Amino acid sequence: MSRIAFGTWQLGGDWGSFDEDAAIAAIHHARELGVNFFDTAQAYGFGKSEAMLGKALREELKRDRDALVIATKGGIKPRSERPRDSRREWLAQGIEDSLRFLDVDHIDLYQIHWPDPDAPGEETAGILQEFVDAGKIRHVGVSNYDAAGLAAFDKARPVETLQPPYHLFRRDIETDPLPYARENDIGVLVYSPLGSGLLTGSFTPETTFEKTDWRSRSSAFTGETFRRNLAVVDRLKEFAAGKGISVSQLAIAWTLAQPGVHVAIVGARKAANIEASLAAADIDLTADDLAEIDRLTTDAVPVSGASPEGVA
């Protein structure tokens, strides 16, 4: 698989308005440049993102299905009475809906989007194994799990992949669960390597977001936290410029340089953003580079993001 995966959270309506034709063009351009791994989810607009991805890739999916790796996620119902729902009925509906929206006969990688505290991990793993046996999904992973959750899941069947949030302002996975993933040979595909835009270098303290953009309700993008982290980004931008790269490329390359990280999921709504992200996978950061990045981010404010329950 390509080390850069094309993420599609931004195509579900949670990031404000966008041009659908431009988004489809971005998917096509990513494919032209060699990206063969695409990640989506049931909760990204409850079918909108999956349908758009399926539409963009339809010709190749029909012609050469195994050339593409399609990953999706299920098991949550944001803004409902039970926002995390890994019960059999909801998982079964989610898988069938995803197959229909994507217009495929199987899903390469199906992931539980968030752990459900009311559904034992071992039981959830067993349910997904039934769909593997039925040929509807090929591989099973989880997202946003800690090591204890991974271990519980592993009791019924191996967790093949883990999808956690990870970037320079959100490094908690370095203590849990990244070590568990390394020790147990779990593929790690991290999301938000650009800090949901914080690490693109395109924001200023005056930047605001549309009401339909989840960042308009996030503490990471307002007030003192936003200002302090943008100051860190300015220092990183200067360091990146000295290496002849952009700060976003530096952030992606840093993520991929971490032991145990295999793939960085990067979203885009315009084709122009794809090439720079892909080039980041070929940037080699030295031990001195990594040490300097740590120094430059010493006073960064740790941030969180969106969850099925809302935005922190």
Active site residues: 44
**Contact between residue 279 and residue 4 where contact means Cβ atoms under 8 Å apart:** no
Three-state secondary structure readout of the chain: CCCEEEECHHHCCCECCCCHHHHHHHHHHHHHCCCCEEECCCCCCCCHHHHHHHHHHHHHHHHCHHHCEEEEEECECCCCCCCECCCHHHHHHHHHHHHHHHCCCCEEEEEECCCCCCCCHHHHHHHHHHHHHCCCEEEEEEECCCHHHHHHHHCCCCCCEEECECECCECHHHCCCHHHHHHCCCEEEEECCCHHHHHHCCCCCCCCCCCCEHHHHCHHHCHHHHHHHHHHHHHHHHHHHHCCCCHHHHHHHHHHCCCCCCEEEEECCCCHHHHHHHHHCCCCCCHHHHHHHHHHCCCCCCCCCEECCEEC
CA distance 88 to 219: 35
Distance CA 166, CA 194 (A): 9
Task: Classify strands 69-74 and 306-307 as parallel, antiparallel or unpaired.
Answer: unpaired
Task: For 57, list phi and psi in degrees, rounded to 5.
Answer: -105, 10
CA–CA distance, 261 with 272 (Å, rounded to integer):
25
